[in-house]
Structure 1
Amino acid sequence: MKRKRIGDSQCPIARGLERVGEWWSILILRDALHGYSRFDEFQQSLGIAPNMLTRRLASLVKSGLLERRLYNQRPPRYEYVLTERGRDFRPVILSLLAWGNRHFAPEGKAVVLVDAKTGKQADPVLTDRVTGKPMTDKDFVLRAGPAAKTRIRERYAAG
C-alpha cells in the first residue's frame, strides 16, 4: 500500500509530519541533538536495520534537517550533522519528552531535562516568544494565516 503524501497540504503540521512523521526519523533527530553524527552511532543507539537507517538519513538530508559531510576519504565515510532547521526541532523533542514523562512513564521518569549549571530539573512548556505567556488551550487558538487558501480558512474559521 502506497502512503499518501501529506506534505503538499497547506497545513504546517502536515508539512512537518511529511519530513519527520516516521518515528525512526524523530529518534534519529533525538540522537543527533544528543551529539551523535555517525552511521554506526545511530545504528548502535537505535538497533535499526542498516537499510532503514540509510533511507531515514537520506530523507532527513533531503528535507534539510541533516547535512551529510565526508569525514574520511578511504574508505569514504560520512557524518550527519544537524542543520539550523534540524536544531530548530529541539523544542519539539523536549515537548515530547515532557509529554511522555507526564503520561506514559508509570515507573517514573527515565530521562529528565535539567539546568546545565544548577542541575535542577526543568519542566519544559511552550510559551509565546513575544509575551512569555504559556500557551494554554483557553488563551490561544488556531486561526487561518494570511497565506491560507480556502480549505484552511474554512477549517479555522473564527467561531
Structure 2
Amino acid sequence: MSRKASQQAEPCPVARALDVIGDRWSLLIVRNAFDGMGRFGDFQKDLGIAKNILSDRLHKLIEQGILEAIPATDGSAYQDYVLTVKGEALFTLIVSLRQWGEEYLFDKDEPRSLLLEKQSGKVIPKMEARSANGRKLNASNTRVQKLNG
C-alpha cells in the first residue's frame, strides 16, 4: 500500500502522524531545525546520515508542509530549511519525547543536554495532558471514540 493511500484510508490520527514523521531521521531533522539548524550540510554532519537518505527525508518533510526550503539568508547559493507553522506545531511532541527519554533512558546522574526556558533559564516543567478544568489526564481516565464500521 502506498504511503499516500495508507494515510487517506487510516482513521487513526496516530497512524497518520507516524506515516509522516514516524521514522528516526525525520524526527531528528525536526529536532535540529528547532535547535536552529537549517543547512543540508549541517544536518548531514550532525546526524551522520547518508546524503541520499537526508535528501529523501527533507523532500518528504517539505512535501508534507513541515519544512520549507528558502534561499539562504546569507545570500549564498545554498538553501535553508525552516520549520513551517505545521512544523512548529511539533514542538510539544519533541519536548514530550525528550522528557520521556530523560526520565526512562538515563541514569539519575548521567549527563545530558537540557531544555531551558530562555526568559528564566530554568528547565521547563514536565508536559502533561490536562482536562479543560486542569485535571491530569492519562490512559485510565480517557477513551478513544472509534468510528462505527
Q: Could you tell me the TM-score, scaled by structure 2's length?
A: 0.84
Match of 1:48 in 2: 49
- Residue type of the partner of 2:20? R
The answer to whether 1:125 aligns with 2:114 is no
Q: CA offsets per residue over residues 97-133 of structure 1, 9 Å max, x none?
A: 0111111112625122223222222232233373333
**Structure 2 stretches of 5 or more lacking a match?**
none
User: How far is 1:85 from its partner?
Assistant: 0.6
- Residue 106 (structure 2) aligns with: 105
Aligned 8 A contact 1:101 1:109 in 2: no
CA shift in 2, pair 1:132/1:45, >3 Å: farther
**Aligned-residue offset at 1:4:** 6.4
Q: Which runs of 4+ in 1 moved over 4 A?
A: none
> CA separation of 1:80/1:149 partners in 2, compared to 1, >3 Å: closer, same or farther?
farther
Unaligned runs of 5+ in 1: 151-159
**As a proportion of its length, which structure holds more helix?**
2
> Which amino acid in the other structure matches residue 93 of structure 1?
I
Structure 1 residues 115 and 66: CA distance shift in structure 2, 3 A: same
Q: 1:132 to 1:102 in 2, by over 3 A?
A: same
Q: Is the 8 A contact 1:125 1:134 kept in 2?
A: no
Task: Return the alpha-carbon distance in structure 1 between the equivalents of residues 139 and 13 of structure 2.
Answer: 18
Count how many residue pairs are aligned between Structure 1 and Structure 2. Answer: 144
**CA root-mean-square deviation:** 2.3
Relative distance call for 1:70 and 1:114 in structure 2 (3 A) is closer
SS for the counterpart of 1:69 is strand
Secondary structure at 1:113 match in 2? coil
Q: Shift of the alpha carbon at 1:139?
A: 2.2
The residue number in structure 2 matching 1:136 is 138
Q: Name the CA distance, whole Å, in 2 between partners of 1:121 and 1:76.
A: 38
Cα distance in structure 2, aligned partners of 1:36 and 1:100: 22
TM-score using structure 1 length: 0.79
